[in-house]
Amino acid sequence: MRLGFHVSISGGFSLAVQRAHELGCSTMQIFSRNPRGWTVKPLDRADIDEFKRLREQYDIDPVFVHTNYLINLASTKPELYERSIEQFVIDLERTEHLGAEYLVTHLGSASGQEPLWMIDRVADALNMAMKLHAPRATILLENTAGEKGDVGYTFEQVNDVISRLNNTDKVGICYDTCHGFAAGYDIRTKAGVDAVAEKIGSTVGLGRLKGMHLNDCLRELGSHVDRHWHIGEGKIGEAGFTAILNHPAFKDVPKIMETPKETDEDDPRNMKKVRLLMK
Which residues bind to Zn ion, rule: CB under 5 A? 176, 213, 226
User: Smaller CB distance to Zn ion: residue 54 or 173?
Assistant: 173
User: Smaller CB distance to Zn ion: residue 14 or 175?
Assistant: 175
Reduced 3-state DSSP string for the chain: CCEEEECCCCCCHHHHHHHHHHCCCCEEEEECCCCCCCCCCCCCHHHHHHHHHHHHHCCCCCEEEECCCCCCCCCCCHHHHHHHHHHHHHHHHHHHHCCCCEEEEECCECCCCCHHHHHHHHHHHHHHHHHHCCCCCEEEEECCCCCCCECCCCHHHHHHHHHCCCCCCCEEEEEEHHHHHHCCCCCCCHHHHHHHHHHHHHCCCHHHEEEEECCEECCCCCCCCCCEECCCCCCCHHHHHHHHHHCCCCCCCCEEECCCCCCCCHHHHHHHHHHHHCC
Contact call for residues 145 and 193 (beta carbons, < 8 A): no
Closest distance between Zn ion and the C-beta of residue 166, in Å?
26
Closest distance between Zn ion and the C-beta of residue 228, in Å?
6
69 in active site: yes
226 in active site: yes
Say which of 21, 55, 106, 230 is annotated catalytic: 106
Say which of 6, 21, 66, 94 is annotated catalytic: 66
User: Smaller CB distance to Zn ion: residue 84 or 177?
Assistant: 177
Say which of 6, 94, 179, 208 is annotated catalytic: 179
176 in active site: yes
User: Smaller CB distance to Zn ion: residue 87 or 177?
Assistant: 177
Closest distance between Zn ion and the C-beta of residue 209, in Å?
14
66 in active site: yes
Closest distance between Zn ion and the C-beta of residue 193, in Å?
18
Say which of 93, 142, 150, 160 is annotated catalytic: 142
Residue least distant from Zn ion (Cβ): 213
21 in active site: no
Closest distance between Zn ion and the C-beta of residue 56, in Å?
26
258 in active site: yes
Say which of 6, 94, 208, 213 is annotated catalytic: 213
User: Smaller CB distance to Zn ion: residue 14 or 232?
Assistant: 232
Catalytic site positions = 36, 66, 69, 106, 142, 176, 179, 213, 226, 228, 258
